[in-house]
Amino acid sequence: MSARIKRAAIHGRTLQWLCLLLCLTLPLVAQATGVQATLDRGSMQLGETVTLNLHVDGGGNVAMPDLSPLQQDFDILGRSQSSNLSIVNGQRSAELVIGVVLRPKHAGTLTIPSLTVAGSRTAPLQLQVAPANPATAAATNKNVFMEVEVAPKQAWVGQQLSYVVRLYVSGNITSGTLDTPQVDGVQLSQIGGDLRYDKVRGGREYRVIERRYALVPQHAGTLTIPALGFQGVALDPGDPDSFFGAGTPVGASAPAQTVQVQAAPANWGQSAWLPARALSLTLTGWPDAGTPVRVGQPINLTMTLSATGLPADALPKLSLPAMQGATVYPDQPKTATAEDDAWLQGSSERRFAVVPERAGTLTLPATTLRWFDVTSGQARTAEIPAHSITVLPAAGAAAPAAATPAATATATALPAATTVPATGRTHELPWRWVALICLLLWLLTLLAWWLWPRRAGRRIAVAANGGVAGDSTRRARQAFLAAARGSDASLQLRSLLAWAQAERPAIRHPGALADALADEAQRRALAELQQRCYGAVPASAAWRDDLAEVFKRGFAWREVELVDGDDALPPLYPFKVK
The tens place of each residue's pLDDT in the chain, 578 residues long, gives 444 444 544 455 554 544 444 444 433 333 345 888 888 878 887 767 788 988 888 766 778 888 889 988 888 877 888 877 777 666 777 788 888 888 888 888 999 999 988 888 899 999 988 886 655 544 556 788 999 999 999 999 999 999 999 999 988 887 788 888 888 889 998 998 889 999 888 778 899 999 999 999 999 999 999 988 898 887 766 555 545 455 677 888 888 899 999 999 988 988 899 999 999 999 999 998 888 899 988 999 999 999 999 999 899 999 999 889 999 999 999 999 987 678 999 999 999 999 999 999 999 999 999 999 999 999 999 999 999 999 999 876 554 443 333 333 333 333 333 333 333 333 334 556 666 776 787 788 777 766 655 554 444 444 444 444 567 788 888 888 888 878 787 788 888 888 888 888 888 778 788 888 988 888 888 888 877 775 545 567 777 778 888 888 899 998 754 444 444 444 443 333 23
Q: Using a cut of 0.85, tell me whether the model's pTM lies above it.
A: no
Which is nearest to 387 in space by CA: 279, 280, 281, 289?
289
Domains of the chain: which residue ranges? 35-130, 135-262, 275-392, 470-570
Q: Name 339's bridge partners.
A: 344
Q: What does the alpha-carbon distance between residue 138 and residue 6 come to, in Å, rounded to a whole number? A: 81
**Phi/psi at 119 (nearest 5 deg)?**
80, 0
Q: Do domains 35-130 and 275-392 have the same CATH topology?
A: yes
What confidence score (pLDDT) does residue 211 get?
A: 93
Q: What does the alpha-carbon distance between residue 233 and residue 166 come to, in Å, rounded to a whole number? A: 18
Which is nearest to 391 in space by CA: 504, 287, 527?
287
Q: What does the alpha-carbon distance between residue 503 and residue 505 come to, in Å, rounded to a whole number? A: 6
DSSP-derived letter for residue 473 is H
Q: What does the alpha-carbon distance between residue 514 and residue 110 come to, in Å, rounded to a whole number? A: 50
Q: Which CATH number fits domain 275-392: 2.60.120, 1.10.3470, 2.60.40, 1.20.1740?
A: 2.60.40
Q: What does the alpha-carbon distance between residue 197 and residue 12 come to, in Å, rounded to a whole number? A: 54
Q: What does the alpha-carbon distance between residue 394 and residue 210 come to, in Å, rounded to a whole number? A: 63
* Class of CATH domain 35-130: mainly beta
Q: How many CA atoms lie within 13 A of 553 on its CB side?
A: 6
Architecture of domain 135-262: Sandwich (2.60)
Q: Name 217's bridge partners.
A: 186
DSSP-derived letter for residue 241 is G
Contact (CB, 8 A) for 97 and 84 = yes
Measure Cα distances from 446 to 142, 241, 453, 454, 480 in Å: 79, 85, 12, 13, 45
Q: What does the alpha-carbon distance between residue 328 and residue 322 come to, in Å, rounded to a whole number? A: 8
Contact (CB, 8 A) for 151 and 176 = no
What confidence score (pLDDT) does residue 450 get?
A: 66
Contact (CB, 8 A) for 332 and 300 = no
**Phi/psi at 77 (nearest 5 deg)?**
-100, -20
What confidence score (pLDDT) does residue 430 get?
A: 54
Tell me whether residue 109 is exposed, middle or buried, using C-beta atoms within 10 angstroms of its C-beta: 0 to 12, 13 to 18, 19 or more. exposed
Measure Cα distances from 549 to 401, 485, 495, 554 in Å: 60, 10, 15, 10
Which is nearest to 509 in space by CA: 262, 214, 311, 329?
311
